[in-house]
Amino acid sequence: MLSTEARELSELLIANGLTISVAESCTGGSLSNAFTRIPGASSYFDSGYITYSNSSKVEMLGVNIQTIKTYGSVSEQVALEMVIGVTVKSHSDVAISITGVAGPTGGTPEKPVGMVCFGFSYDGKTSTTTKLFSGDRANIVSQSVSYALKQLSFRL
């Protein structure tokens, strides 16, 4: 079943003549898939980077390794550098990044399972936010994608 949020966002992108690119870590391509499952996605979807490892974040998106060492790969600082990197690489009008702990392992008291950081870029402005989702891995990924789609729709 196609996501209502993805369909609504795709209609907004098309109506405004905008393109989008994404940089994903913990969602592993699920956000890109939400867009590309919709017929006509080639008119607005430019690219999706799945940068699961720290080295791929550095090599593909230009995230500073010192940022990762200082704040960790799950941080708003890394989400910001990811979204800036995907914007520069793609030249898209709109971009989003997602990095987080989907679980079931990998969480810490400071960064528990379900903690997801987002970066948004549109109209020359960037912002970040962190959300804490609950449930199993699939639920956390699904909630992350849904949140990203809704937040992008609000920004357009």
Tell me the pLDDT tens digit for each residue of 51-82.
999 999 999 999 999 999 999 999 999 999 99
Domain boundaries, the chain: 4-155
Q: How confident is the model at residue 1 (pLDDT cuts 50, 70, 90)?
A: very low
Q: How confident is the model at residue 120 (pLDDT cuts 50, 70, 90)?
A: very high
Q: How confident is the model at residue 88 (pLDDT cuts 50, 70, 90)?
A: very high
Quick one: 17 exposed, middle or buried, by C-beta within 10 A (0-12, 13-18, 19+)? exposed
- CATH code of the domain occupying 4-155: 3.90.950.20
pLDDT of residue 104: 94
Q: Buried b vs exposed e over 29-55: b needs ≥16 C-beta within 10 Å? A: ebbbebbeebeebeebbbbbbbbeebe
Across the chain, what does the average pLDDT equal? 95
The CA-based angle 83-89-90, given to 5 degrees, is: 90
Residues in the chain: 156
Residue 118 clears pLDDT 50, i.e. is over it: yes
- Stated as kind and residue range, the H or E segment containing 59 is helix 54-61
Residue 3 clears pLDDT 90, i.e. is over it: no
Q: How confident is the model at residue 155 (pLDDT cuts 50, 70, 90)?
A: confident
pLDDT of residue 69: 98
What tokens appear for 131 in the block?
């959300």
Please report the DSSP string for 102-121 in residue order.
-SSS---SSS-TTEEEEEEE
Helix (H, G, I), strand (E, B) or coil at 45: strand
Please report, for residues 103, 116, 142, the alpha-carbon distance to residue 134 in angstroms, rounded to integers and kept in the order given: 10, 11, 11
In this structure, are strands 94-100 and 45-50 parallel, antiparallel, or unpaired? Answer: unpaired
pLDDT of residue 2: 54
What average pLDDT score do residues 151-155 get?
87
Provide the 10 A C-beta neighbour count for residue 125: 8
Integer Cα distance of 19 and 65 in angstroms: 28
pLDDT of residue 154: 85
pLDDT of residue 109: 93
